Amino acid sequence: MIKLNENGEKEWEKVYRKMEEADIGYQIIESSDGGYIIVGQIFNLSAPQSMY
Asked whether residue 37 is domain-assigned, the answer is yes
pLDDT score, position 9: 97
Residue 33's domain spans which residues? 19-52
Asked whether residue 2 is domain-assigned, the answer is no
Asked whether residue 51 is domain-assigned, the answer is yes
pLDDT score, position 43: 77
Q: 51, 52, 50, 47: which is closest to 20 by C-alpha?
A: 47
Asked whether residue 1 is domain-assigned, the answer is no
pLDDT score, position 50: 52
Asked whether residue 12 is domain-assigned, the answer is no
* Coil, helix or strand at residue 47: coil
Asked whether residue 4 is domain-assigned, the answer is no
pLDDT in tens, the chain (52 residues): 889 999 999 999 988 777 677 778 889 999 999 899 988 887 777 766 655 5
Q: How many domains would you assign to the chain?
A: 1
